[in-house]
Amino acid sequence: MKKALVILLILAVAGGVFAQINFTGTLSAGLVGVFNKDQDPTIGIRSPRNDSPLRFDLNGAWAKDDGLSGFNFTLRTEGTPGHNVFASTVAIDNLYGWVSLLDKMVTIYGGKTNNNGNFATVGGVQDNLATGVGDGFFARIVPMTGLEFGVGVYSRSYITTATGLGGLTLANARYNFGVAYTVPQVVTVIGLLRQGQNEPNAAHLADQTLDSGKFTDAGIGFKILSLTSVGITALNVDAYFFDLQQVAKFSTVKIGELLNYANGDLSAGIRFMQQFQIGDSAAKYADLTFVGNVQYLVNGFILPRLDVGFNMGTSGLGGIYSGMWNLVGKNGFSEKGMNLGIAPSVAFRYGNANNTLEFGYIFQKDLTANADNMRNSVYVEMKTSF
């Protein structure tokens, strides 16, 4: 009888907590037809803007009444391009608990974390060096209004025996450090540093001189906040320096700029990135990317939009369009490479801006000399949220 009462008490407590969890969710699905030169047309399930055939995210958040502890999670199910979409599996995208200490001056996150907050730049590069993201612990420290520090320790290897076999050494775990300082209505400055080993990252190009998979990366970004009165909603600059531990042999530098403008229902944006390599084994030419967009909201629910992109320094078409930045191929370091992308679309909003039905056309062309690559795609995509 006592055991039954204990079980009922546990279930009652768990049910009470479950009832307090704030759930949100997003479903996206699309259908794309691709027409490549000299190939048969193909059609398949795909959401062009998130690079997945079908995706559903279920987010949950809970916090105690005093606001000093809680947990967050995201369960994601999605299909894999090229496979049966109904063979999708459910994965934990993030699952972490958090606790605030010292009158909320310090907040510690632990688990599979995904909470970088202000520790991300949003210029032309747009990176966060995985600050606040990974399997481990992350601490956010706010000693004064406008100033934040972040420190994280992460590992993708798990200790499997009492002797520690299977785990990374302390020297080879990933460490993240960040600082963000905001002068209200003037500027936000962000600095990031990452050190680690064996962390998959597209920025670490397939260079065989990389020392044992170790790396040291750094980033800095500026957000200008003083121009909103004239319609400039974003004026951001950032720069990143990858593989600094071996700069004499091979290192990558990315510099980017982002400008967004809004006036009533009209909005437009441009984004630039300049990518260079330095060192004895580096490419002697740059990879330069530009993408711009303009859109106008008609009657509060019809949104026509045009995206245009151009790249110098990468040949080939890259992947099928996956949002504004991936309209053109990049990161290839091809000396005479060039490519162009044009994507008109129209979206219909139903309910609110998070629920859309979008129709679009994507033109991608490799402009490299003697190249004959071209891709035409048409798509329809639905997104709905709650």
Q: Mean per-residue pLDDT for 89-94?
A: 78
| pLDDT value of residue 87 | 59
370 φ/ψ sector (left φ>0, alpha ψ -120 to 50, else beta): left
Classified as helix, coil or strand, 65 is coil
Task: For residue 323, give the nearest of 302, 340, 309 by alpha carbon.
Answer: 309
Q: What is d(CA 218, CA 176) in angstroms, rounded to the nearest whole number? A: 10
Least confident of 3-12, 63-72, 152-161, 224-233: 3-12
The pLDDT tens digits of the residues spanning 198-230 come to: 544 444 443 433 444 677 899 999 999 999 889
Q: Of how many residues is the chain composed?
A: 386
Q: What percent of the chain has pLDDT over 70?
A: 82
Task: For residue 31, give the nearest of 358, 355, 354, 367 by alpha carbon.
Answer: 358
Q: Mean per-residue pLDDT for 297-307?
A: 94
The pLDDT tens digits of the residues spanning 229-263 come to: 899 999 999 999 988 888 777 788 999 999 999 99
Q: Greater confidence, 179 or 17?
A: 179
- pLDDT grade, residue 19 (50/70/90)? low
Tokens 């209004």 identify what position? 145
Which pair of structure tokens corresponds to residue 66?
């005093």
Q: What is d(CA 330, CA 256) in angstroms, rounded to the nearest whole number? A: 13
| pLDDT value of residue 21 | 86
Least confident of 22-36, 46-60, 122-136: 46-60
Give the Å distances, CA to CA, from 289 to 94, 311, 364.
Answer: 32, 4, 14
Beta strands 187-197 and 174-183 are antiparallel
pLDDT at 46 over 80: no
| Mean per-residue pLDDT of the chain | 82
- pLDDT grade, residue 357 (50/70/90)? very high
| pLDDT value of residue 166 | 55
Q: What is d(CA 343, CA 326) in angstroms, rounded to the nearest whole number? A: 11
Has this prediction a pTM greater than 0.85? no
Q: Greater confidence, 202 or 274?
A: 274
Classified as helix, coil or strand, 95 is strand
Which pair of structure tokens corresponds to residue 225?
């906040």
Return the H-helix or E-strand segment holding 136. strand 133-144
Q: Mean per-residue pLDDT for 49-73?
A: 85
- pLDDT grade, residue 165 (50/70/90)? low
Task: For residue 29, give the nearest of 74, 77, 73, 75 by alpha carbon.
Answer: 77
- Other beta carbons within 10 angstroms of residue 14's beta carbon come to 10
